[in-house]
Amino acid sequence: MEQASQSVYGFRAPLLDGRAVSLDEFRGRVLLIVNTASQCGFTPQYAGLEQLYRSYKARGLVVLGFPCNQFGRQEPGTAREIGTFCQQSYGVTFPVFDKIEVNGRGAHPLYQFLTREKPGLLGTRAIKWNFTKFLVDRRGGVAARYAPAKKPEDLTRAVERLLDVQ
């Protein structure tokens, strides 16, 4: 995997169906990248993420879900189980990728990039829990990082601001 130095567009990852996707497919759009889990206290945020996606996708927002099992083993399912859960429980229509790691030696290169570009509280790069969110501008730059407790509906102003920049 080659690493993009200035944007997310140089990264690839497989969707739940196994099809490899280049983030370059989303060039020119505002992205909300979220590490997700199906058995977490924050899992109901799937509903807010889907609502945000439906509300703004026509204007250029894409939510990208990256399931991760590194926090309390709260994403133990297979790709098929994760997809079924997301669709049946929350009507998710935004792209959901296959499980990845977001911390440590096995961290996906996309997450290495995101955490380097926008460290967390006190400069830490580590993702602390499920549903950490990264907002990416239309040029592929990381504009903001949000803690898991930040609800998707509380991101509307930031999303709109980035959508208004052409």
Q: Strand 61-67 and strand 30-36: pairing?
A: parallel
Q: What is the pLDDT of residue 21?
A: 96
Give the residues of the chain that fall short of pLDDT 70.
Answer: 1-5, 166
Q: What is the pLDDT of residue 1?
A: 39
49-75 confidence digits (pLDDT tens)? 999 999 999 999 999 999 999 999 999
Q: Are 14 and 116 in contact (CB under 8 A)?
A: no
Q: Are 8 and 110 in contact (CB under 8 A)?
A: yes
Q: What is the pLDDT of residue 3?
A: 45
Q: What is the pLDDT of residue 153?
A: 96
- CA 38, 43, 45, 51 torsion-angle sign: positive
Q: What is the pLDDT of residue 19?
A: 96
Q: What is the pLDDT of residue 6?
A: 78
Q: What is the pLDDT of residue 5?
A: 56
- The owner of tokens 């439906």 is 54
**In the chain, what are the domain boundaries?**
11-163
Q: What is the pLDDT of residue 161?
A: 96
Q: What is the CATH number of domain 11-163?
A: 3.40.30.10
Query: Could you give the dihedral angle defined by the CA atoms of residues 71, 74, 76 and 77, in that order, rounded to the nearest 10 degrees?
Result: -130
Q: Are 71 and 38 in contact (CB under 8 A)?
A: no
> Residues with catalytic annotation?
40
